[in-house]
Each structure stands twice: as structure tokens, then as C-alpha cells.
Amino acid sequence: MGRWIQIQNINNDNIRPIWSDGHSMRSSKAARGRIRDSADGALGTASRSEPMENIKVLYEDNDIIVVNKPAGLATEGGGISEKDLESEMRNYLAKKKEPPEIFVVHRLDKPVSGIVVLAKNAGAAAVLSKSLSGDSFSKEYKAVVYKTGPLQKENELTDYLIKDVKNNVSRVAKSPGEKGSKKAVLKYRVESEDESSAVLKIRLLTGRHHQIRVQLSNAGFPLLGDRKYGSKESIEYSLSKGIKDVLLTACALSFDHPATGEHMSFTI
């Protein structure tokens, strides 16, 4: 297991090194001329101001902004007194004297950190939104789960989920035919593990509300730091290790650029 066995006081910042060696990006020739590798490893335009301190801009051009969203920040709809990614990025553009237009085309749960692409105009938003259901738009995640038994090294989970809008939770349906249920599929691979926990790399094949958290909890492997879907044992274990955030991050994102059509890939 190496570094992961040293679990004390773990959080999203100190767990990230076992998942990756930093930020990286592959893109079209047109995009390469507009990006740089900054001192902290973030990628973006050659001259820019930053949004709020803990939001990292990985890439930006006239049509899109790719950012690393921190845990604890809603993607949108944060409320009157609560910040969210959408409003922060509007403010960021306004400070640069650019039209403060931001279009959210996909979301990460508030407790989840990781890569998000935002559109800067309606045309780019329409193209990206249409691509969400295709093969060109791909998301991968890293998660740390609590083990209640042996984990298969690689596995595919298929469930049918029902979303409770009022309470902002989802659950596994009692049967595939239950009213309101939608098919949810993910694949995972174990990257490292010890007796109590494991680091998983996850690929979503569908995009359902709280999908990873619900499916893994249902399979008997709740995420560390997840008080909403965790078991009594996983919550107590997380608290004993000082884990306060849900240990889930969107670590890789690939999509076709909405204007150039070039395939772009980002990892953290």
C-alpha cells in the first residue's frame, strides 16, 4: 500500500499525491499555443487572474474554462449567502473585463472535488451538453472506500436508482421496474488497499444523482467521509482518522472542444 497506509489526518489535499503526480493536459495544436504550465502545476492561459483562492483554472480560451473545483463548493445554486462555482467564475470573468457569462453543462456534488468544464457562451454550452451522452465525453474518479469484506480487483456495478428531490438523496430501487428508477452503471478498479480501506479508480457509464456514493455504499463499500450514505462503521472510522471531506475526486475529464472539435484530456 505504501503511502496510503499512513492515513492519519488525511484530507483531499494530502491524499491527492497518491492519485497523481500533478496536473496534466493533452489537447489540440490550436490550444497548446494558449496554455502554460504554472509553478503550481495548473494549466491555463499565459496571463490571467485567479478566481477564489482554492479554485484552480486548468485551461481557458474563448469558449470554455476547465477548473479544479474544491470540495465543499456547490457547482451552482449555492444560495444567497453561500458561494458556488458558477457565481465565482462569473466574478472571475468580470474582473478580467470579459462578459460574465458562464454555462454549467455538468456538475459535481458539493462534497466532491475535481475537474469541471464550463462554457463561456451559449453555443459552446449547447455542443458540450449534446456530447454528454456520447463516447467523446468521459469522466474518471478516484475514491477511498471503507471495506466490509474482500473487494474484486475489477468490477462493474449495475443498479436502478431513484432520486428523492425533496430530501436531495438517492437510493437503490427495490426492483428495476420501480416507478422513477433509472439505470446506473459504473466500473471500478482497485489501485491500492489495506485491511480497512481501498483506493478505487472509477469510470461512470451513466450519470445519475449521487451515483458513485449510492452504488458503492449499496455494494458494501461506502466512501470515507460520507455521512449521507456511509454506514455507522465507515462514519466512525472516518471520524477516528480525522477525515471530514468525502474522499472522492473527479480526476480525469475528456471531451471534444465545442469549437475546434479537437479531443482534449485533463488529469489531476
- CATH 3.30.2350.10 spans which residues of the chain? 2-14+140-249
CB contact at 8 A, 24 and 263: no
pLDDT given for residue 26 in this prediction: 54
pLDDT given for residue 49 in this prediction: 52
pTM exceeding the 0.85 threshold for the entire prediction: no
- The CATH architecture that domain 20-136 belongs to is 2-Layer Sandwich (3.30)
Average the pLDDT over 215-240 and give the result. 96
Integer-rounded Cα Rg, in Å, for the chain is 19
pLDDT given for residue 54 in this prediction: 86
pLDDT given for residue 108 in this prediction: 93
* pLDDT at residue 21 is higher than 50: no
Q: What is the pLDDT of residues 64-95, one digit of tens each?
A: 999 999 999 999 986 666 789 999 999 999 99
- CATH 3.30.70.580 spans which residues of the chain? 20-136
pLDDT given for residue 77 in this prediction: 80
- The CATH architecture that domain 2-14+140-249 belongs to is 2-Layer Sandwich (3.30)
d(CA 205, CA 187): 8
Residue 240 dihedral angles phi and psi, to the nearest 5°: -65, -25
- Using CA atoms in the order 146, 147, 152, 158, what is the torsion angle rounded to 10 degrees? -60
Average confidence score pLDDT of the chain: 83
